[in-house]
Structure 1
Amino acid sequence: MASSIFRPRPRGGAWPVAVAWLGVVLLVAAAALMAGAGTAYKWDWVSLGTSFSMLRQGAHLAVGAGAVGLVTVLVAAFCRRWRPVLVGLLTSTAVVAMVALPAQMMQRAQSVPPIHDITTDLEYPPAFEALAAAREAAPNAVAYPQRFAAQQRAAYGRLHAITLPLPMEDAMIAAKATVEAQGWEIAAVTDSTLEATATTRWFGFKDDVVIRLTETSDGVRVDMRSASRVGQSDLGTNAERIQDFLVALDARVAQ
């Protein structure tokens, strides 16, 4: 009993633990806002503007949590309270991981043109037909905006159609199988075209795809167009989707 009464008080008192808990609370709130921003928009609970506001607020809270985490490390280390030091280090590390994706998105937005519709054929872009109604109900245009052509050519000049050494029917079978492997929702398939919709995981953005096959003397030429329904800039997603698809299709045919 006497030993517990005269036990020495920990250095710094309750402050190191209190500051550590503050950082943890801010971190949890930031994670909830940032993760919930995409989910809330995906399920139509909030508007796109509101979801982006939630994302920014979460990022600001995360920065605050990181700052508190560093303060915790300094205060707890000075007081030789090693558990709060560990909590502060873990909080700061978690913040770095959380803000890495938004920071990468911002950096990418500055490095690509603010366009959202990409095609391998700038002169005669593949047209949406089955998905035309869905695109008419969305903010972005159904037809390829010709004002994007110069920006696309400058940013994605290496993006081009491929030619498959196959009959038309076999080329369509390979294209459809590749689309299904990507997990896209097929809207329509004809003898020479395929339309599908790709949905992003986080925010659930809908990007529409049309693949056009044309018989040539060397086989079947594959042109592709990928266009976002909302947003001015796609952060390079549509160009990347086309490139990845054509590489996967070519590999499938080669096998």
Structure 2
Amino acid sequence: MSTFRLRNRPRGGRWPVVPAWLGVLLLVAGAALMGGAGPGHRMGLVPLGTAFDLLRLGAYLAVAAAALGLLALVIATLCRRLRPALAGLLVILAVAGMMAVPWQMMQRAQRVPPIHDITTDTHNPPEFVTLAPAREAAPNAVGYTPSFASQQRRAYPSIQPLVLEQPLARVLSAAEDAAREMGWEIAALTDTTLEATATTRWFGFKDDVVIRLTETDTGVRVDVRSASRIGRSDLGTNAARIVAYMDRLEGRLDGG
């Protein structure tokens, strides 16, 4: 009977199973920390520094999970154990998926300049008025930093004013509608300006936008400025926001 049990014992015993399950547990913990760091800060449960610490800890746990998954895969392959090998492989693939977004952000940070204030008019940027107090309470400056201009022109040459052959009132109405469609919170609206705040989905960061309309001989010139309240680099977010807004505004007026 003892010989029969010995022969039917899985090869490698628990060695392939233990690292696989430990990898799964670390994967779940890492995913919870990385996924919950942003929402926790956005809902006011943890300060920003703590949220970044949780994000960093989650990344460390994910890397450890991948190492255990690789260990389980190697041992299970040598022992010809299909299920532990599959579990180890799935852990590795899951960690790769989790780390894809942070990796892309790191790559993007290396490609774009370390600036956080983008405008279609670098010589005379639209000014924040209603949102000025909120920006004064934040780390980043209220006024435009002149040194950003040359960096912006090199990195985002397509960020230019938009001239529309439409009545001012119609452009203003379309500008407000486009801003609301973008999900921005309107802070102020005058005959020629609009101020709004855009909130990022994950961490809930506040970026402020001001739109200025100017009547010219060829139509209405639209200038947009988008600036983050915190952070040295916006990873290209503000430039992408301006491009998306201009496209939406043009689409509304063309469609009308």
Looking at structure 2, the residues matched to 158 and 41 of structure 1 have their Cα atoms a distance apart, in angstroms, of 34
**1:181 lines up with 2:165 in the alignment:** no
**1:205 lines up with 2:205 in the alignment:** yes
Looking at structure 2, the residues matched to 6 and 194 of structure 1 have their Cα atoms a distance apart, in angstroms, of 78
Output the amino acid matched with 1:22. Answer: L
Output the amino acid matched with 1:37. Answer: A
Looking at structure 1, the residues matched to 14 and 230 of structure 2 have their Cα atoms a distance apart, in angstroms, of 50
Match of 2:223 in 1: 223
Match of 2:50 in 1: 50
Q: Provide the aligned length of Structure 1 versus Structure 2.
A: 255
Looking at structure 2, the residues matched to 213 and 24 of structure 1 have their Cα atoms a distance apart, in angstroms, of 55
**1:254 lines up with 2:249 in the alignment:** no
Looking at structure 2, the residues matched to 234 and 80 of structure 1 have their Cα atoms a distance apart, in angstroms, of 49
**1:157 lines up with 2:136 in the alignment:** no
- 1:129-144 equivalence runs, <5 A: 129-144=129-144
Runs of 4+ in 1 over 6 A off after TM superposition: 1-4
C-alpha deviations, 1:75-128, integer Å up to 9, x for none? 112112111111111111110100001111111111111111111001110011
C-alpha deviations, 1:112-164, integer Å up to 9, x for none? 11111111001110011111111111111111111211211221122101011
Q: Pick closer, same or farther for the CA change 1:122–1:207 going to 2, 3 Å.
A: same
Q: Tell me by how many angstroms 1:6 deviates.
A: 6.8
Match of 2:25 in 1: 25
- 1:74-153 equivalence runs, <5 A: 74-153=74-153
Looking at structure 1, the residues matched to 212 and 237 of structure 2 have their Cα atoms a distance apart, in angstroms, of 20
Looking at structure 1, the residues matched to 6 and 62 of structure 2 have their Cα atoms a distance apart, in angstroms, of 41
Looking at structure 2, the residues matched to 229 and 57 of structure 1 have their Cα atoms a distance apart, in angstroms, of 25
Greater displacement, 47-56 / 169-178? 47-56
Looking at structure 1, the residues matched to 2 and 93 of structure 2 have their Cα atoms a distance apart, in angstroms, of 42
Q: Which runs of 5+ in 1 are unaligned?
A: none
Match of 2:12 in 1: 12
Looking at structure 1, the residues matched to 63 and 172 of structure 2 have their Cα atoms a distance apart, in angstroms, of 50
Q: Tell me by how many angstroms 1:50 deviates.
A: 2.3
Looking at structure 1, the residues matched to 232 and 95 of structure 2 have their Cα atoms a distance apart, in angstroms, of 29
Match of 1:237 in 2: 237
Greater displacement, 62-71 / 99-108? 62-71
In the superposition, the TM-score normalised over structure 1's length comes to 0.95
Looking at structure 2, the residues matched to 246 and 226 of structure 1 have their Cα atoms a distance apart, in angstroms, of 12
Looking at structure 2, the residues matched to 99 and 220 of structure 1 have their Cα atoms a distance apart, in angstroms, of 45
Output the amino acid matched with 2:84. Answer: P
Q: Tell me by how many angstroms 1:2 deviates.
A: 9.7
Looking at structure 2, the residues matched to 4 and 174 of structure 1 have their Cα atoms a distance apart, in angstroms, of 80
C-alpha deviations, 1:45-89, integer Å up to 9, x for none? 333222222212211211111121111111112112111111111
Looking at structure 2, the residues matched to 7 and 39 of structure 1 have their Cα atoms a distance apart, in angstroms, of 52
Q: Tell me by how many angstroms 1:5 deviates.
A: 5.6
Please, what is the CA RMSD of the aligned residues? 1.7
In the superposition, the TM-score normalised over structure 2's length comes to 0.95
Looking at structure 2, the residues matched to 103 and 7 of structure 1 have their Cα atoms a distance apart, in angstroms, of 47
Identity among equivalent pairs (%): 60
Looking at structure 1, the residues matched to 6 and 84 of structure 2 have their Cα atoms a distance apart, in angstroms, of 24
Q: Tell me by how many angstroms 1:26 deviates.
A: 0.9
